[in-house]
Amino acid sequence: MKFEDIYQFFEDPPPIYLNKELAVCYVLAVLLQQDSYGTELIQRLSEQFVHYRLSDTVLYGALKFLEDEKAIDGYWKKVEGRGRPRRMYRLNPDWRLQAEELAEFWKTYMGNSTAPAYADSPILSVPRL
């Protein structure tokens, strides 16, 4: 390792991957607003929270957990211009209050997260050796 590697880390930090607990709360936060599908959930996260990522494995594990708990329902939707139907997910109305509580965990976590502040870090203004 060199000092240059440290500067490079803060200039271009690696993405932070969500764990299953955060993924569950994130999915519920989205589904409170609208039905969605896996690829859209992954893309939306990376667009809204540029330093965060969600792996397929963690996402589909979270979706399966939510389906098993009957918190969400999956259904197939035919999309024009797409060959096969897309697997969509919607919030089970009976779970709305608990989903709102868990979505609040997500919002609080992201509000307290310091990872997106890397680019604004004062260390980047320190002259390099």
- pTM summary value: 0.80
Residue 25 maps to a domain: yes
Q: What is the pLDDT of residues 27-55, one digit of tens each?
A: 999 999 999 999 999 999 999 998 999 99
18 versus 117: the higher-pLDDT residue is 18
Token pair recorded at residue 13: 């930090």
Domain ranges, residue 66? 15-114
Q: Which of 38-47, 59-68, 113-122 has the least mean pLDDT?
A: 113-122
Is residue 126 assigned to a domain?
Answer: no
Looking at the domain assignment, is residue 51 inside a domain?
yes
In the chain, the largest separation of any two C-alpha atoms, in whole Å, equals 59
Helix (H) or strand (E) holding 86: strand 86-91
The verdict on residue 28 lying in a domain is yes
**20 in any annotated domain:** yes
Does 120 have pLDDT greater than 60? no
Residue 72 inside a domain? The answer is: yes
Please report whether residue 43 resides in a domain: yes
pLDDT band at 10 (very low <50, low <70, confident <90, very high): confident
Q: Residue 129: is its pLDDT beyond 60?
A: no
Q: Classify residue 54: in a domain, yes or no.
A: yes
Domain CATH number, residue 84: 1.10.10.10
Task: Give backbone dihedrals phi and psi of 43, rounded to 5 degrees, phi first.
Answer: -65, -45
Residue 51: phi, psi to the nearest 5? -95, 0
DSSP 3-state of 78:
coil
pLDDT tops 90 at residue 126: no
Q: How many CA atoms lie within 13 Å of 4's alpha carbon, on the beta-carbon side? A: 0
- For residues 121 and 67, the model is more confident at 67
What is the rounded average pLDDT for all residues in the chain?
87
Counted domains in the chain: 1
